[in-house]
Amino acid sequence: MVKRYERLEQIRRMDPEKDFLAIYRLTATYEFPWDFTRALELALYRTYAVPSIGRLLARTAELTDRTQKRYDDTALLLDTVVEHGFGDEEGRTAIRRINQMHRSYDISNDDMRYVLCTFVVMPKRWIDTYGWRRLSRHETVAAATYYRVLGQHMGIKEIPGSYEEFENCLDAYEEANFGWDQGAREVSDATLDLMVSWYPRAVAPLLRTATLALLDEPLLRAFRYEQPGAVTRSLVNRAVRLRGRAVRLLPPRKAPHYARQNWEIKGYPDGYEVSELGTFPVPGARGCPVPHTDRSAGSPVE
């Protein structure tokens, strides 16, 4: 049997710059699969508070009219790269689909880089606060390296080099750009509605309040949500921390758990083809502009 801290010891014997994919897989699929799911949900949700991002998502209507499908496709495309890597055909197909979708819109390099930063920073912040242990330095470096390589495959320019640079970039971008947008608020409401829809209707109001209690004040202000009370915030944070402590007492996971195995993925009960995931925007329809010859985020590496 694998002991509780045995995989962490294995990770510490690896090189986080060279073995970043193997380390990231161990961390995300064995050590903290539930936490990574929650943190990456929060990472993507957080990007709506940047008006240029939230406004575009509202214009496409993907997150307001087909919220579950957009959630499923995003999770599955990102998950495919984690599971298969950058050299395998499945992983390359997932990256190609991501790039094809992004290429259909005018998305600035700054916005693309900011989204990448959320993938690096939010899981560490979540796990260090709520996980059954904190992330090690090896895991932190490996995650930053993993997303730096992913960003390069997506053609993003001026990618931060270290975790600390990713964190500084995220904090500075949010301070400069978080703000109100009606379309972004609609996308936020649709996302919250989706999350509470996974549970019995009777507990929906409680779950919505609990979710808002996990958001920080700048995010709540950007969406103009009412601030949860101090008692509510304290109870919710304590409950999630207790969950982490309980996990510490459980036997370690014997097999990897990928996002495709999450019960929140509802749209593909009979399986899926990676090449068919995501959207296929039609120029001039549903928020999709005409094709552009000069993409702000550069040319993707496929």
In a domain, 294, yes or no: no
Q: For the chain, which ranges sit under pLDDT 70?
A: 282-302
In a domain, 136, yes or no: yes
pLDDT of residue 62: 86
Between the two ends of the chain, the Cα-to-Cα distance in Å is 40
Q: Are 76 and 132 in contact (CB under 8 A)?
A: no
pLDDT of residue 296: 41
Q: Are 95 and 302 in contact (CB under 8 A)?
A: yes
| Residue 106: CB atoms within 10 Å | 13
Q: In which domain, by residue range, is 95 found? A: 12-265
Look over the chain and give the mean of its residue pLDDT values, rounded to a whole number. 92
- Angle at which helices 137-153 and 89-103 cross, to 10°: 60
Closest CA to 147 of 294, 41, 16, 298: 16
CA distance 196 to 208: 6
Identity of the residue numbered 109: N
In a domain, 74, yes or no: yes
Return the SS3 of 265. coil
In a domain, 290, yes or no: no
Burial class for 138, CB neighbours closer than 10 Å (0-12, 13-18, 19+): buried
In a domain, 62, yes or no: yes
In a domain, 283, yes or no: no
Structural domains counted in the chain: 1
In a domain, 123, yes or no: yes
In a domain, 297, yes or no: no
Closest CA to 300 of 145, 97, 115, 143: 97
